[in-house]
Amino acid sequence: MKINDVSGQKNDLRRHMKALRDGLSDDFRRKAAGKIAGFADMLPITPDDCVAVYFPVRSECDVMPLAARLRQKGCRLALPVVEKKGAPLVFRRFDAVTRFKKGLFGIDEPDETAVAETPAVFLTPLLAFDRKGGRLGYGAGCYDRTFPLFPSALLIGVAFSKQEIPDVPVEKKDVLLDYVLTENELIKVG
């Protein structure tokens, strides 16, 4: 299969999966966020770890209840910062004193006063996933450019169970997940 064929498949799948996720009710999303937080003690995360989380945008799974539980366990939290379009993400500490600014994509990000962090674990939003570690994001490549800079980090995709598909189209540049966390289960890939 040609790369362009895979890119076209991904774009079609993105539209479909975004519509599916957007169609989920607010009540379902709220309940799912609580169930996802309930997996905090089952995740392969230690209190010494720095965990990269994200502010949910559009209809993404809300990981903030999970982030609060991880903070209670002693984990440091970090949020992604887009310093330059097309560049890897950087991560800054997310805590009670973090000051925010609007980032390039209009998402709140820690400002320059926040401490830079090196995440040991990434919680990343998804549009679709499969049980082989395939993941589909928005297509900007932010995480694919970033993950190779953290080769020993644990990659955990966070999605609603309805976002699972049999096979995510994967290109050579795509980085596979180690786990997927849904409201129903923690899936170990492999």
Question: How far is it, in rounded angstroms, from Cα 159 to Cα 176?
Answer: 15
Are 23 and 15 a contacting pair, CB within 8 Å? Answer: no
Q: Which domain holds residue 106?
A: 3-188
Domain count of the chain? 1
Q: Which residues contact 27 (CB under 8 A, 6 or more apart)?
A: none
What is the H or E stretch that residue 39 is in? Answer: none
Question: How far is it, in rounded angstroms, from Cα 158 to Cα 123?
Answer: 6
Q: Looking at residue 173, what is its pLDDT?
A: 86
- DSSP state string for 174-188: PPPPSEEE-SS-EEE
CB neighbours of residue 164 within 10 Å: 17
Half-sphere exposure of 116 (CA within 13 A, CB side): 4
pTM of the model: 0.94
Q: Looking at residue 113, what is its pLDDT?
A: 96
CB neighbours of residue 56 within 10 Å: 16
76-120 residue pLDDT tens: 999 999 999 889 999 999 999 999 999 988 899 999 999 999 999
Q: Looking at residue 139, what is its pLDDT?
A: 84
User: Which positions of the chain have pLDDT values less than 50?
Assistant: 1-3
Are 88 and 146 a contacting pair, CB within 8 Å? Answer: yes
Give 154's strand partners: 121
Question: How far is it, in rounded angstroms, from Cα 84 to Cα 119?
Answer: 19
What is the H or E stretch that residue 169 is in? Answer: none
Q: Looking at residue 4, what is its pLDDT?
A: 57
What is the H or E stretch that residue 53 is in? Answer: none
Q: Which residues contact 3 (CB under 8 A, 6 or more apart)?
A: 171
Residue 177 belongs to domain with CATH number = 3.40.50.10420
Give 101's strand partners: 109
